[in-house]
Amino acid sequence: MTFLNHLINGISLGSVYAIIALGYTMVYGIAKMLNFAHGDVIMVGGFVSFLTVSSAGVPAIVSVLISMAVCTVLGVLIERLAYKPLRGAPSLAVLITAIGVSYFLQNAAQLLWGSDSKVFTSVVPFNSISLAGGKLVITPESIVTVSACIVIMVALTLFTAKTKMGKAMRAVSEDKGAAQLMGINVNSTISVTFAIGSALAAIAGILLCSAYPTLSPTTGSMPGIKAFTAAVFGGIGSIPGAMLGGILLGIIEIFSKAYISTELSDAIVFAVLILVLLVKPEGLLGRHVREKV
């Protein structure tokens, strides 16, 4: 029973990683950049929801929507101000800019909301379900997180496969120049990608803070890094890959915490990542690109 409990916790944490990883993978696929600030957008999402619920007394669901809206605007704004002027610049320059944005968001949050950690009240207003005489406890947060993750993945897969914008996204990620020649507006496509990624980050932030109820300006950075490794793990640029990578990473983390060592769990997560990349350098579901001379 404890095994099942750990499994459920793992899948639940993994689903949060998966939602964050989806944002990473989409932005990487299209803009070919590591958006280091993604983790901090998660934190902003958490804070917006926290403030609207605790000070304005808005109902939980409305606060989620407000938080998504704020993060979407923030994501597009970051893209327009910091990343757009660097289109075509060397990838390291863009990486450093992303790091700058990440520092900016963390420090702005610290100035605005203080560096002490806040206690986040869960946005899910249900009680835990206990099965098998209280041995198996399923928190409502895990149910909501897992279902949100599934809904998001199905929606995103349909979106990229069926809609015009989704097709444009795939075209841009395949070949920016050719896409432009076909009449696709590359700039607006990239903006839409950032908007979707940031909205997902808001959801992930709220779910993360609901499950682990502390919130501080650095809340987002470690989950951000882990979600990025999850995206690489599953094969960067692939939507099902991000989902699979995220969930596996969550399960590995919880299991190593439970059965091996709490302190070493991060090391184990990263060691598994290294092993996978050595055996399959393109990630679990990534496409293998043949090298051409």
Partner 1 sequence: MKLKKTTKQSFITILMVVVLYIAISVAKSGGLLTYSLKGQLVPICAYIILALSLNLTVGILGELSLGHAGFMSIGAFTGAVVSMSLTGEIASSLARLVIAIVCGAILAGIFGFIIGLPVLRLKGDYLAIVTLAFGEIIKTIINCVYIGKDSNGLRFSLENAEALGLAEGGKAIIKGPMGAVNISPISTFTVGFVLILITLAIIFTLVDSRAGRAIMAIRDNRIAAESVGIPITKYKMMAFVISAALAGAGGALYALNYSTIVPTQFNYNTSILILVYVVLGGIGNMRGSVISATILVLLPELLRAVEKYRMLVYAVVLIVVMIITNNKKAKLFIANIFAKITSPIRKRIKMKHAHETDEKEEA
Where does residue 79 rank: exposed (0-12), middle (13-18), buried (19+ CB within 10 A)?
A: buried
Q: Give the CA distances from residue 90 to residues 35, 99, 174, 232, 272, in Å, rounded to whole numbers and listed in that order.
A: 14, 15, 19, 21, 30
* Single-letter amino acid, residue 201: A
* Intra-chain end-to-end CA distance of the chain, in Å: 55
At closest approach, how far in Å is the CB of 85 from partner 1?
4
77 binds partner 1 (CB under 8 A): no
Give the residue from 175, 124, 120, 178 showing the smallest Cα distance to 147: 124
Stretch that binds partner 1, among 5-13, 137-145, 170-178, 258-266 (CB under 8 A): 258-266
At closest approach, how far in Å is the CB of 260 from partner 1?
12
Going residue by residue from 172 to 211, which x/- string records binding to partner 1, judged by CB under 8 A?
A: ----------------------------------------
| Residues 214/116, Cβ–Cβ less than 8 Å | no
| Residues 71/35, Cβ–Cβ less than 8 Å | no
| Residues 23/185, Cβ–Cβ less than 8 Å | no
Could you tell me the sign of the dihedral formed by the alpha carbons of 272, 275, 281, 286, in that order? negative
The string over 19-49, giving b where at least 16 C-beta atoms fall within 10 Å of a residue's C-beta and e elsewhere, is bbbbbbbbbbbbbebbbbbbbbbbbbbbbbb
> Which CB sits closer to partner 1, 36 or 120?
36
Backbone angles phi, psi at 131, to 5 degrees: -120, 165
Which member of 271, 285, 287, 288 binds partner 1 (CB under 8 A)? 271
> Which CB sits closer to partner 1, 1 or 267?
267
Going residue by residue from 234 to 253, which x/- string records binding to partner 1, judged by CB under 8 A?
A: --x-----------------
> Which CB sits closer to partner 1, 24 or 50?
24
With contacts defined by CB under 8 A, how many residues of the chain interact with partner 1? 42
Which member of 31, 34, 169, 209 binds partner 1 (CB under 8 A)? 34
At closest approach, how far in Å is the CB of 240 from partner 1?
19
Q: Give the CA distances from residue 86 to residues 31, 79, 92, 105, 231, in Å, rounded to whole numbers and listed in that order.
A: 11, 10, 11, 19, 24
**Positions in 83-122 near partner 1 (CB under 8 A):** 85-86, 89-90, 92-93, 95-97, 99-101, 103-104, 106-108, 110-111
Give the residue from 144, 14, 26 showing the smallest Cα distance to 75: 26
At closest approach, how far in Å is the CB of 27 from partner 1?
13
Query: Strand pairing of 118-119 and 129-131?
Result: unpaired
At closest approach, how far in Å is the CB of 156 from partner 1?
22
At closest approach, how far in Å is the CB of 93 from partner 1?
4
Stretch that binds partner 1, among 130-138, 187-195, 204-212, 276-284 (CB under 8 A): 276-284
Contact positions toward partner 1, by CB under 8 A?
34, 36, 82, 85-86, 89-90, 92-93, 95-97, 99-101, 103-104, 106-108, 110-111, 221, 225, 228-229, 232, 236, 261, 263-264, 266-267, 270-271, 273-274, 277-278, 281, 291, 293
